[in-house]
Amino acid sequence: MKVAVVGATGMVGRTMMKVLEERHFPVTELIPAASSKSVGKEIIFNGKPVKIVSVKEAVEARPVFAIFSAGASASKEWAPVFAQNGTVVIDNSSAWRMYDDVPLIVPEINSHVLKKGDRIIANPNCSTIQMVMALAPLHRKYKIKRLVVATYQSVTGTGVKAVRQMENERSGIKGEMAYAHPIDMNCFPHGGTFQPDGYTTEEQKLIDETRKILEDKSIMVTATVVRIPVVGGHSEAVNIEFEKEYDIEDVKSLISGFPGNVIYDDPAANKYPMPILSHNRDEVFVGRIRRDLSRERCLNLWIVSDNIRKGAATNAVQIAEYMAEKKLY
């Protein structure tokens, strides 16, 4: 079971290797691949040093799985090369998500669409993953008609450069800017790039990916993505309009009974999900569960999860686990 991690030196790539260790994925040989500036350096995996190789060398090693977190352009270039060589690619970028013939997978929700012969599988956007984890069991019973989403996203979603910008600002150091504005003591409604219709690419991902994962193009979605000065997790305020009337206690039961979800909801005791709670954990935390009193069949949820773990690395490894278990490689 050879496994390549492409983008091994990045924030998500490092976490992917950590998750492979933690979950005891049966790796017989790890092949960490990165850009030329990192080739030849060593990382530690399962207590042993492993040399970083070029992506070309990783292809030639013919791994069973190649888990990508190297950006969309690298995925576009190299994922087909691995796939042609018989490797199953699990890609964390936006490159392949909306191709009709590429599965977009959250294993707890739609692993049933995976089949032998799939060579490129897309990992959804971090914000989408945590949202659909809470929504999937509700959609199955009550059918979601419309979603209004506002996200409050960690700087880790942008990467190391953004974390460094925030730390520099907190220390009064002038340094490289990942964003157009200061992030410490600030927040801005800008994630991804702006499109002609005024929405950002991050907002568009929430719309398109939710429909694809829940297998329902009729769901109407509108979203506003906001970056906030925290490390360790994304938060989302989600307003849901159902086609059917719902029972609030049943909603809680459906969410808590879904694998990977945790209800954390006792406002009287100041108990509600926060990024600081989700940091370095794989669960999706759901709280502030309450009726929308302004409109019939509407519900409010507050959803928080670690965007680097379940939002990226852990979900990718779970896809590999499912495919290995079902021998879909």
**Mind telling me the catalytic residues?**
126, 234
Q: Provide the 8-state DSSP code for 30.
A: E
Q: What 8-state DSSP symbol labels residue 111?
A: G
State the angle between helix axes of 248-256 and 126-142 in degrees (0 to 180), rounded to the nearest 10.
130
Q: Among the residues of 34-171, which ranges form H helices?
A: 55-60, 72-84, 107-110, 126-142, 160-171
CB 30 within 8 A of CB 20: yes
Tokens of 46: 């399962």
Order of all β-strands in the sheet with 220-227: 220-227, 144-153, 234-242, 298-305, 284-291, 261-263
User: What is the distance between the alpha carbons of residues 210 and 11, in angstroms, rounded to a whole number?
Assistant: 25
The CA distances from residue 326 to 83, 103, 116, 314, 320, in Å, are 19, 16, 9, 18, 10
Q: How many residues does the chain have?
A: 329
